[in-house]
Amino acid sequence: MCKGHLHTLAPGNKDLPGASATYAVGGMATHWTCATPRPHPDEMPKDLPYSDDEAEWDRRYSFCEKLIGTNQSPFDDLVGQQIVKHALNEAIPEREIKGLPLAVHVDQGKYPHYPHLHWSGCDTIMGSSWSDPRLTLRSDTHVRKIVHDDKKASYAVCENLVTGEKILVRAKYFVVACGAILSPQLLHVSGLGNENNGRYLTDHPVAFTQVVLAEKHLDWARQNSAFDGRLPDDSDPIPIPADEPDPQLYTPYTNQHPWHTQIHREAFQYGTIGDRADQRTVIHLRWYGKQDPQRDNRVIFDNKKLDMWGMPSPSFQCKLSGGDQERGEKIFADMLKFAEALGPYLPGSEPHWRPYGQALHACGTTRLGSDPATSVLDPYCRVHGYNNVFVGGNNVIPTSNSVNPTLTSMVYAVLGVEKLIEESGWGTKTAKL
């Protein structure tokens, strides 16, 4: 499908103004940040048949980290990263400062301080499967509806958006993976999913600021013999090699500080600094809160008002709970403490909350669970009552979590795939997990 990257879904919507979808082969992973931390045990579901099996969770997370190529702290050796880490360790010794786990392959190649970075995307996961003759990728093609009867889906009605050609795809199993807002949209137009479809929406409120590293931190690097031979020459006022990758750090979720953080430099458009400072000295602080799942927080599809592709258009009803707001105050204060340790605010980027939804971490809209009264999918990602319709994506995540969600939704996808393999009898001929 066309329409490119990050299309705002409900412009002007008050509750979730940042909600967006990507219409492109590869989805949001065409431009994601690749942060793939694991959630804290507090953020995991407690009421699923497999909830208590820590070894199984670990196996699935490890498998998905391997699949997406998570590198636990790829940039620890960088001068910029070490400056930030040292500054924070000095000022806030009680907090653990770590390299952010990133889905990136670092190839030192022939330029030791200018590594080649291969950021992971769908291509990383697909690997050589692209050339499997059993696979057909239809770009520019929209699934309009999944047709079903007797609790079984039988075919999907698709349309080529360029030629208008209608294509019917029959299958034994269907997997809906259209993103956190457009998956419930497809279920909605298809009459699949119960009254919880689109509900229990959560996202991450994001507190954000940019700071300029204080001169004393740069001096620490200038005076540190460990960096001999790595710093630019004296004519460069900034002691950070111009060609090294951006720093990527975080301080993990703990019981005392139950939120996720990113202390880094990011390519988001709202992080663009123009000529306000040398960008090597600018650090972005992004503090992600979690949102309590509430049934009334939801995406609503309007059958009379259609979106650009003729599907019921989404709007949002999504309020923060008292607990979310209380956490929000602590999150904001915590971010200010970190900012103070690093340096002054970049003018124009003083601390603020980003428009809600702009984290692009919407979750829960087709949440899984054991009880159909509070979920859309069974614990193995199947639409309740439909054993041949599976759903994937952040929309399946049932819990309130604060870390970047993609690794976790991959874990649930693996659960679903394992169930599909088991039930279909296709066995290891099809996939080896």
Ligand X SMILES: Cc1cc2nc3c(=O)[nH]c(=O)nc-3n(C[C@H](O)[C@H](O)[C@H](O)COP(=O)(O)OP(=O)(O)OC[C@H]3O[C@@H](n4cnc5c(N)ncnc54)[C@H](O)[C@@H]3O)c2cc1C
Which residues of the shown chain bind ligand X in the complex (CB under 6 A)? 1, 6, 21-24, 27-29, 31-35, 142-143, 177-179, 182, 186, 360, 393-394, 404-406
The DSSP secondary structure of 79-102, one letter per residue, reads HHHHHHHHHHHHH-TTS--EEPPE
C-beta of 176: minimal distance to ligand X in Å?
8
Q: Which of 202, 198, 199 is nearest to 321 (CA)?
A: 202
Q: Which of 287, 137, 271 is nearest to 204 (CA)?
A: 287
Residue 133: CB atoms within 10 Å: 5
Q: Let me know if 14 is exposed, middle or buried by CB neighbors in 10 A (0-12, 13-18, 19+).
A: exposed
**C-beta of residue 188 within 8 angstroms of C-beta of residue 198:** yes
| Matching residue, tokens 């090294």 | 244
**Identity of residue 57:** W
- Catalytic one among 204, 264, 361, 384? 361
Active site residue 196: no
Active site residue 361: yes
| Matching residue, tokens 């019921």 | 312
Closer CB to ligand X, 69 or 393, in the complex: 393
Q: Which helix (H) or strand (E) holds 170?
A: strand 166-170
In angstroms, the CA 261 to CA 331 distance is 9
CA 313 to chain centre: 23
Instruction: Classify the phi-psi angles of 257: left when phi > 0, otherwise alpha if psi is within -120 to 50, otherwise beta.
Output: beta
In angstroms, the CA 273 to CA 101 distance is 25
C-beta of 394: minimal distance to ligand X in Å?
5
- DSSP annotation of 394: G
In angstroms, the CA 152 to CA 141 distance is 23
Q: Hey, which residues are catalytic here?
A: 361, 404
